[in-house]
Amino acid sequence: MSPKLKSALQLILFAGIGVGLVWLSIHNIPDKDIETTKQSFKDADYTIVIISALISILAHVIRAWRWDMLMKPIGHNISFKNSFAGVMIGYMVNYAVPRAGELSRCGVAAKYEKIPFAAALGTVITERIIDLILLMLLFFITLAVQFNELIGLTNIYVVQPLTVKFGGLLHNTMYLVILIVGLLAFVGALFVLRNKIKSLFTGKIGGLLKSFGDGLKSIKDLEKPGLFILQSFLIWLMYFLSLYVCLFCFNETKTLGVKPALAFMLFTSIGVMVSPGGIGAYQLIGTQILLYYQVVNGVAVAFPWIVWGVQFIAIIIIGGLCFLFLPLLNRSKNDNVPADITA
């Protein structure tokens, strides 16, 4: 399969997931609530929404600053303009194909700063590991302050659906046999191909993995680990403040407070991993969270769309401008070797 065809199929797949989730989020609106949902969009205080978007952009600024810190231990520097542009272009690309934005960021570093792509990718993966740790920390904080609510949400939206789905699977003998045979075939294939798999970690791929490892090791050689930790917490604090401030755009949500906002942020952050840029998943999950906290249906539908929509618009505008003007901002550099920053 050619790389272009593979990319096209991935794009169609993820776009399909996004469209399906958008349909679900809209389809779940009862007919009697359609007009109240439209009115909720009209009633929102968009001045507050814009303030929320500016706070989220500050998180991206801090992320760009932190990325430069990860570059230094592996012997590289990246200017803030290229670091910030890489971050914003990456977010923009992620709306098309999830995780492809990380490759785009590394493409910016490789083209305009001559940083080895694999080493840059190692630093980005390091960032993602840190983000995952902080997401887990968010889970434990939410668990501590919203234990009953979190258990209730998990039971309603995770445990019960899985019980219904897999309960039916376990009672279907044919499906169960197919599942067992498939697992055995997978284990058998790993055993038969073990030598070929081992050979992948030598030669050129081995060198690539070494460069990748250099990027991962950057975190233990940081000049200012305390500042790095502070930056990491500030990024997620800005994410939370952006959401919390946006609650005040509706009378129905401004009284929710910090604890429900934590639960909303936790579950929607997981939803972002499901579809391109979280489209559909963010709205579907966010609506269910607000309904759980007894927010009226119209606002429960409108709020996640507004929060997601303003982020989307900001990233598309800023990311698009960065993509267009980045060559001009770097025209004094030697760009004789072309690179595709959207790879």
The set of residues, in sequence order, having a beta carbon less than 8 Å from that of 62 and lying 6+ positions away, is 231, 234, 235, 238
Q: Mean pLDDT check: name the lowest of 68-77, 151-160, 195-204, 303-312.
A: 195-204
- Render the burial of 192-221: b for 16+ CB within 10 Å, e for the rest: eeeeeeeeeeeeeeeeeeebbebbbebbee
Look up tokens 């055995």; give the residue: 184
Number of residues written out for the chain: 343
Q: Indicate whether 72 pLDDT > 60.
A: yes
Rounded CA gap, 160 and 42, in Å?
35
- 149 phi, psi to nearest 5 deg: -65, -40
> Would you say 170 and 176 are in contact if contact means Cβ atoms under 8 Å apart?
yes
| Rounded CA separation 258/115 (Å) | 41
Q: Residue 277 gets which letter from DSSP?
A: G
Structure confidence by residue, pLDDT tens digits, 224-239 = 888 988 999 999 999 9
CB-CB contact of 266 with 138 (8 Å): yes
Predicted confidence at residue 187, as pLDDT, reads 75
Cα 143 to Cα 193: distance, rounded to the nearest angstrom: 43
Q: Is 339 exposed, middle or buried (0-12, 13-18, 19+ CB in 10 A)?
A: middle
Secondary structure (DSSP) of 132-171: HHHHHHHHHHHHHHSHHHHHHHHIIIIIHHHHHHHHHHHT
The DSSP-derived string for 237-267 is HHHHHHHHHHGGGSTTTTTS-HHHHHHHHHH
Determine what percent of the chain is predicted with pLDDT higher than 90: 24
Statement: residue 25 has pLDDT above 60: no
Q: What is the mean pLDDT of residues 144-165?
A: 66
Residues 6 or more apart whose CB falls under 8 angstroms from that of 208 comprise 118
User: How far, in Å, CA of 152 to CA of 143, rounded?
Assistant: 11
Q: Which residue has the higher pLDDT, 207 or 80?
A: 80
Task: Give the DSSP H/E element, type plus range, for residue 106.
Answer: helix 100-113
pLDDT for 31 beyond 80 = no
CA dist 333 and 317 (Å) reads 25
Give the integer Cα–Cα distance in Å for 181 and 343.
37
Rounded-to-integer distance, Cα 126 and Cα 215, Å? 7
Contact 319, 62 (CB under 8 A): no
DSSP E strands, 18-118: none
Enumerate the domain spans of the chain: 37-329
pLDDT at 198 over 90: no
Whether 131 contacts 62, CB under 8 Å = no
Q: How confident is the model at residue 283 (pLDDT cuts 50, 70, 90)?
A: confident
Residue 29 clears pLDDT 70, i.e. is over it: no
pLDDT exceeds 70 at position 204: no
Is residue 161 scored above 60 in pLDDT? no
